[in-house]
Structure 1
Amino acid sequence: MLRLYRRATGARHLDIGPGTGYFLDRCGFTGPPPEITLLDLSQECLEMSAHRLARYRPRTCRANLLEPLPLPDGAFDSVAMSLVLHTVPGGWDAKGKSFAELARVLRPGGTLFGSTVLAEGVRMNALTRRLLVEQHRRGNFQNQGDGPDGLARALAAHFPFSRVVVRGNVALFRATA
């Protein structure tokens, strides 16, 4: 995942669900500092990641990924959403609608990239399956039915180029606007 950040993060970057800001903190930018916007539904998450990334003076945006985003068209060179989609309710049809908004805020040729935990269509050992069931029970994961083929179709509906690679039960993806 860190390799994706290092390869795909552009000069104007939107990070969706930044968590603690770990990936951007470890990215090791060369050249001028990027313009970073952090987007999350959780104000606490935004504050935590903005504090960690204070040296970049990130902007924050509190918004719901499943609603129209309060961001201008073509504003970003890159958009990341690492370990986010498996926490979003609904199947790929519902989650895929967010890709239309992300394609809108990317400049032509811009890159969407990220990762998500899959629940279907991947091999899992017994421990992984038990951990996944527990995350569903707690309501932390909303990825019932999420498989790599559905992700690939949802990306292809909104991006002219996309790629999904599965590692264990995690999908790494990249798409170009």
Structure 2
Amino acid sequence: MTDSSAAGAAVYSPLTLALYDAWVLGISNRYAWRCPTQTVLLPFFRANVRPRHLDIGVGTGYYLAKTQLSSQTQITLLDLNPSSLEAAKRRIARPGTRTIQHDVFKPIPGDERFDSISLFYLLHCLPGPLDAKAAIFGHLKHNLQPDGVLFGATILGDEAGHNAFGRKLMAVYNKKGIFGNRHDTEAGFEGRLREHFRDVTLKREGCVLLFRAAQPIV
């Protein structure tokens, strides 16, 4: 784990987690990134969750808690930050929910496969150039069932056309190491996803890229 990746994970303390939903999912998504949680991100999440699901970069567990999951749905949470894992598991409050404290840059130990894997607001928090962070697609495709789906959302970099509020947050977050996305582009992510998946769908909402990838190339 690099110092930069530690900075991106460490920001999620118990205090910031308590404020996360109001600040990130409420104010920032609507006014800075122009991608409302309730009308865009949550429906996208709900549409792609499958019975055996791995959630990476769990935040507060908001999306899983707000999705009407079947009683048969099995949830695994993966994050570098133990505070996030604890908060998300507590909020979801589903018997059998598993947690894995792990650095997503490294392959997940074992050969377990999932029906769906979500990466919501993770990629823009990872350090390094786009090529380095997109390498996780190559790891995660081996954790998908052949008919599984990898999906997520990420805030794009400078070329996304941020408004004044967004530019200010981008500057502060990138300086502190919370974000590492100044050079993240839609074309860049599309190219890397297509290296590993045959079926790739992208949607842009404001400065946020929503992506869905299926049919892993192995």
TM normalised by structure 1 equals 0.94
Give me the whole-angstrom Cα distance separating, in 2, the residues matched to 1:19 and 1:164: 23
Q: Aligned-pair RMSD on alpha carbons?
A: 1.2
Q: Which of 70, 78, 100 is residue 109 of structure 2 equivalent to?
A: 70
Aligned residue number for residue 63 of structure 2? 23
Aligned residue number for residue 153 of structure 1? 191
Letter of the aligned partner of 1:121 in structure 2?
A: E
Q: Which of 44, 52, 56 is residue 91 of structure 2 equivalent to?
A: 52
Letter of the aligned partner of 1:153 in structure 2?
A: G
Asked if 1:138 is matched to 2:172, the reply is no
Runs of 4+ in 1 over 6 A off after TM superposition: none
Asked if 1:6 is matched to 2:46, the reply is yes
C-alpha change, 1:51 and 1:148, in structure 2 (3 Å) is same
Letter of the aligned partner of 1:12 in structure 2?
A: R
SS in 2 for 1:20: coil
Q: Which of 105, 113, 117 is residue 143 of structure 2 equivalent to?
A: 105
Residue pair 2:107, 2:140 contacting (<8 A) in 1 also: no
TM normalised by structure 2 equals 0.77
Residue pair 2:121, 2:154 contacting (<8 A) in 1 also: yes
Select between 49-58 and 163-172 the one with higher mean Cα deviation.
49-58
Identical aligned pairs, as a percentage?
Answer: 38
Aligned residue number for residue 94 of structure 1? 132
Give me the whole-angstrom Cα distance separating, in 2, the residues matched to 1:37 and 1:150: 29
Letter of the aligned partner of 1:32 in structure 2?
A: S
Q: Which has the higher helix share?
A: 2
Q: Number of residues paired by the alignment? A: 175
Aligned residue number for residue 32 of structure 1? 71
Give me the whole-angstrom Cα distance separating, in 2, the residues matched to 1:128 and 1:71: 39
SS in 2 for 1:157: helix
C-alpha change, 1:24 and 1:110, in structure 2 (3 Å) is same
C-alpha change, 1:71 and 1:18, in structure 2 (3 Å) is farther
How much does 1:32 deviate? Answer: 3.1
SS in 2 for 1:89: coil
Unaligned runs of 5+ in 1: none
Residue pair 1:33, 1:56 contacting (<8 A) in 2 also: no
Unaligned runs of 5+ in 2: 1-40
Aligned residue number for residue 18 of structure 2? none
